Every structure is written in structure tokens, then in C-alpha cells.
């Protein structure tokens, strides 16, 4: 099939523009179809793989939920309200409590053996310790603790 340029040139400019636009539109559609088709096949393959793995994934989520549920229940029952007076007793002495907006500064004096227990008691009461200092005193150890309420709990 040979193309005759006289037929093309005999067409009006308007008709040539319409034919040119139709040819460009059909070529863009053809190229787009060939470009999108492999993507659709890849997407279908990925969906098949996901649906095949779905029961296994659900089983793993059930295992995780079973592990996390008892822990969440136990932490809810163990959290107590913070009071600086809880830290004044036989093993430690409250020297100063200076409340500030949303946090405060706690100064305690205790024996060296009570240091770890003090931190765990603060954690049980939902307090975070962003900064602290330790210094030796006449009767053992002096804590200066910057405290913040734990917003996660």
C-alpha cells in the first residue's frame, strides 16, 4: 500500500488537522495500553500473593494479640497516682518537693541500696525522669530528680 501525498495535500487544512489529531490520539491510546497492561498483570500477581499469605498473616496477628493482652491488663491495674509523700519513710527521706507545671523536682536522701527501688517506684506511678543527679551525703545518697508525668499511660 503506497501513500499518495496528493490525497493528503488535497485535503483541507481543517481535515488534515482532524486526521493528525486522530492518529496521535490512537497512537497514545495504543502506547498507553501496552504500558499499562504489564502493570495490571503485576498488580494481579501481587494481589494473588497477598491473598495466599492472608491466613498466615491473620494467625500471626492472633498470636501477637494473645501476648499483648495480658500485659496491657496488668499495667492498668498496677499504675498508682504519684505522691511525693510515698517517698518519705524508713529507707528514704523526702527533703524537698517543688511542683512545676506538669512536672516537678524531687530531692530525696537514702541509702545506696535503695537507689534502684526509687526508680522502679517512680515508674510504677507513671513518672518519667528526664534528668537526675546523685551526690554523696552524710547519711548515704542524695537524689535530685526532675520528674514528668508519663503521658502514655
Query: 150: exposed, middle or buried (C-beta count within 10 Å: 0-12, 13-18, 19+)?
Result: middle
Domain positions in the chain are: 10-77, 84-149
Q: What does the pLDDT look like over 3-25, one tens digit per residue?
A: 788 888 899 999 999 999 999 99
Q: Note the pLDDT of residue 24.
A: 97
Query: What is the CATH T-level fold of the domain 84-149, as seen in this structure?
Result: Alpha-Beta Plaits (3.30.70)
Going through the chain in order, the beta strands assigned E by DSSP cover 92-100, 103-110, 127-137, 140-149
DSSP state of 104: E
Neighbours of 149 (CB within 10 A): 14
pLDDT-based confidence at 74, cuts 50/70/90?
low
Q: Note the pLDDT of residue 72.
A: 52
Amino acid at each position: 500500500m503506497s501513500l499518495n501525498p496528493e490525497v493528503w495535500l488535497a485535503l483541507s487544512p481543517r481535515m488534515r488537522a482532524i486526521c493528525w489529531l486522530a492518529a496521535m490520539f490512537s497512537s497514545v491510546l495504543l502506547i498507553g495500553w501496552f504500558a499499562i497492561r504489564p502493570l495490571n498483570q503485576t498488580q494481579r500477581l501481587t494481589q494473588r500473593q497477598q491473598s495466599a499469605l492472608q491466613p498466615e498473616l491473620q494467625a500471626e496477628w492472633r498470636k501477637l494479640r494473645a501476648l499483648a493482652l495480658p500485659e496491657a491488663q496488668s499495667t492498668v491495674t498496677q499504675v498508682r497516682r504519684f505522691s511525693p509523700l510515698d517517698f518519705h519513710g524508713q529507707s528514704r527521706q523526702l527533703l524537698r518537693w517543688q511542683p512545676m507545671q506538669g512536672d516537678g523536682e524531687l530531692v530525696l536522701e537514702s541509702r545506696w541500696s535503695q537507689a534502684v527501688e526509687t526508680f522502679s517506684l517512680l515508674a510504677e506511678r507513671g513518672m518519667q525522669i528526664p534528668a537526675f543527679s546523685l551526690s554523696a551525703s552524710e547519711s548515704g545518697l542524695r537524689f535530685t530528680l526532675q520528674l514528668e508525668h508519663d503521658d502514655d499511660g
